[in-house]
Structure 1
């Protein structure tokens, strides 16, 4: 079902990093803005005459809580007309036209295998929503890994919140990894791919079909971020022995 265009009111703005902002948007016409964790909204911004040149889609970073407020996590893109307008023009009290929720990048009905949430940058938004939803409703699940690829320590988003969630959500591991930091005992360095490959290889079990072989443990992989990361991840995950049906993706940019 195609959602109608609605008016949302920006009620709060917070800088998460130098180039990333959190926008809280209220939908006055609704008592409750209902969505599934992982879905997105599309904003219609006054940046072009043609409608399809004005639309920008963003994953919802908050989780369904029965209110009519949702949160977006937006990074300022160099030369990006949409994010430049949002950062320069939008203040608390500003009204935005949006449509949603939309999308099928959502959790399975029954979580009977491990989940790997793999992201870069603001791609953490839908996974934050999913993790809090699982905790809030005490939804049964297997092991849950959130692999967040960053360049430097200051690039992490929701860092403290994820550390707290790690203590509160059963079988949840938050694994940020830094591509431009020196190796150390308290953090992972490099790219996300080596992290999930190591976990998957360590979780292999003897194969029933082929004696002597080690089979991969059943898992779902959710990918959210830039195209290069997603393309490489899909290739590597299949090389581990998983099929394409195990992989779900949400592309940015």
Structure 2
């Protein structure tokens, strides 16, 4: 199978989402509609090295297919990262970026006949924002959707207000952020502290499954999608399988 050709995208908007995270809207002028499946990514070719393989950086698409020729990326500035340093310091609205895509098979199951656990850290939320809006916009039949987002502090939250409002409107969708380094003086029950792993374990346990059992008949049907850094994904895979789920139900997109 041959690779998709390189295309030229035009950066039409840049917005700071947090102190070290930016949203980039990229238009594809040569296309009327940039079509992709939620969960896919694009690869950018950045002028940061002579060797092509060391110039390329891949980012999940954080927007959803809407019939336009514009897609969105959310990118975190990595300390010492050549690619993100160049994007943050050099790229301005109106600039062009060579890209290839859409790419990847980290996409929704068909049909969505089980609960979906979207488990992510940092900008790993991008594909799940895309998937969630796509499901709800098109009234795709689904079970419960749990978007469990982990970051350090409240100020690191990505798309927080948007996803919180969406969860208030749609009963089948729960947005659950948790903060590993946030101090909550008033113990606000709406603010979860800790790591993502305790959250999905609590949900599974509270819905009648037997934690620690090897009997798959006692587990609620679910698909698990993981996106973020390797340590989180490795631990999540271990914990989910320890609950009794088959590894075939676990899908992952690794960052870094």
TM-score range relative to shorter protein: over 0.9
The one-character-per-residue Cα deviations of 1:44-86 (angstroms, maximum 9, x if unpaired) are 0000000000000000000000000000000000000000000
What is the CA–CA distance in structure 2 between the aligned matches of 1:158 and 1:137, rounded to whole Å?
20
> Which residue matches 1:249?
252
Q: Does 1:227 align with 2:230?
A: yes
Q: What value does the CA root-mean-square deviation take over the aligned residues?
A: 1.6
Q: Does 1:238 align with 2:229?
A: no
What is the CA–CA distance in structure 1 between the aligned matches of 2:20 and 2:209, rounded to whole Å?
44
> Which residue matches 1:203?
207
Runs of at least 5 residues in structure 2 that lack an aligned partner in the other structure: none
Q: Does 1:104 align with 2:105?
A: yes
Q: Is the 8 A contact 1:203 1:216 kept in 2?
A: no
The one-character-per-residue Cα deviations of 1:130-165 (angstroms, maximum 9, x if unpaired) are 011011101111010000001111110001100111
Partner secondary structure for residue 100 of structure 1: strand
TM-score (norm 2): 0.94
Q: Does 1:186 align with 2:187?
A: no
> Which residue matches 1:216?
219
Residue-pair matches, total: 249
> Which residue matches 2:25?
24
What is the CA–CA distance in structure 1 between the aligned matches of 2:69 and 2:116, rounded to whole Å?
29
> Which residue matches 1:94?
95
Give the Å deviation of 1:121: 0.3
CA separation of 1:37/1:214 partners in 2, compared to 1, >3 Å: closer, same or farther?
closer
Give the Å deviation of 1:214: 7.4
Q: Which moved more, 1:21-30 or 1:178-187?
A: 178-187
The one-character-per-residue Cα deviations of 1:186-235 (angstroms, maximum 9, x if unpaired) are 211110000001111122358xxx99x97110100000000000000000
The one-character-per-residue Cα deviations of 1:8-39 (angstroms, maximum 9, x if unpaired) are 00000000011000000000011100000000
TM-score (norm 1): 0.95
> Which residue matches 1:44?
45
What is the CA–CA distance in structure 2 between the aligned matches of 1:9 and 1:214, rounded to whole Å?
51
Partner secondary structure for residue 16 of structure 1: strand
> Which residue matches 2:133?
132
What is the CA–CA distance in structure 2 between the aligned matches of 1:65 and 1:230, rounded to whole Å?
30
